[in-house]
Amino acid sequence: MASILRYCVAMPKKQCKTGTGSLDLAYITPNLIVCSMPTSDVIKGWYRIWLKDLLEFLHQKHNSAWHIWNFQAEPTGYGDHEVFGKVDHFPFPDHNPPPFEMLPQIVCSIESHLIQNKNNVAILHCKAGKGRSGTVACAYLIMKFKMTFDQATQVFTNSRMRSAFGEGVSINSQRRYLRYTHDYVHVLNQQYKPIDVEIDAIKIYGHLYEDIDLKIAKYTKGGCVISDLYQFSQNDVVDRTSAVLVFKPQRLIVLPADICVMTQRTKVVGGKLPIIHSSAYMWFNVFFETYGSIEGFDFCQINGRIEVPWKEMDGYKGTSKRGSELFEKIEVYWHVTKGSLQLN
């Protein structure tokens, strides 16, 4: 029964055959492995990889030349001592990209292990071994092998996913951060410095409802937690027409490097029960969106803007399940703070 449950949970992803069965695990390169969360918990073991099975596989295939990278911000399925301390933690929340600054740090950590010995292998996991692990795996392919965004995401999809089950990295915000990684490597020669900006306005075009909840959030605790930065209210609406809603915060809002814009509409059923009618979010990095454009990067820019259509927002758990359409597109405007560091 447990093997059937594990197979059903892992079904969209390719399995690695072992002598006694299969593991929810895939080789992206001969030295880079992605898997779902291993666990020593009796209950979770019914539908996740048993830690003892993973360790047995690694010892048989790679002796002691392995090391694990864990990206779970939520509780994990094992203790560090159960893998002999051979694990590094770079936690960030499920269904979201990591803070951009974290990606080069992770890749550097992985590469420092792999270059020590040609037989060394790196095992990357989150919970499902897809979105977060896939984002890091693709970033590694881009930074290490100078792959393009398209090449890296295709290699990961071909290696990790069964045919007809979609992209390996499918969440729009995670894919946006991989495009940033492409520019970081292929355009900027791996130059990046976080900047702070002040928000000017958020414009919602083609809105179908007046009562849209809007807020912006940021990472705290090193990327482990998403915390509200500002909740807009109707008092922040400075222009309201049939075509556009314009929000301007009533106080100065300084945005850090990575920002999440969240939209939602709640309706009351039966006069008492509030239910979520629609919900969507998107992450972006102000450095890349301020200085980057189709024509290239211009570090003299002091104003920034991002435009995202409703259909490219992330929905429930990063899927396309956003509920009924709330608007046609959303635009965010900001300017670089005077004291913020810029590249010249």
Residues making up the chain, counted from first to last: 344
State CA 133 to chain mean position distance.
9
Would you call 138 a catalytic residue per the annotation?
no
Q: Find the catalytic residue in 8, 16, 108, 126.
A: 126
Structure tokens of 263?
Answer: 């939209």
Q: Report whether 310 contacts 280 (CB < 8 A).
A: yes
Exposure b/e, 80-103, CB count within 10 A at least 16 = b: eeebeeebeebbbbbbbbbbbbbb
Per DSSP, 185 falls in state H
| Residue 30: HSE in the Cβ half-sphere, 13 Å Cα cutoff | 4
| Residue 103: HSE in the Cβ half-sphere, 13 Å Cα cutoff | 32
d(CA 109, CA 247): 41
Per DSSP, 323 falls in state B
Q: Report whether 36 contacts 50 (CB < 8 A).
A: no
Q: Report whether 290 contacts 195 (CB < 8 A).
A: yes
Per DSSP, 13 falls in state B
Q: Furthest-apart CA pair in the chain: how many Å?
A: 66
Q: Report whether 168 contacts 194 (CB < 8 A).
A: no
Q: Which residues are catalytic?
A: 126
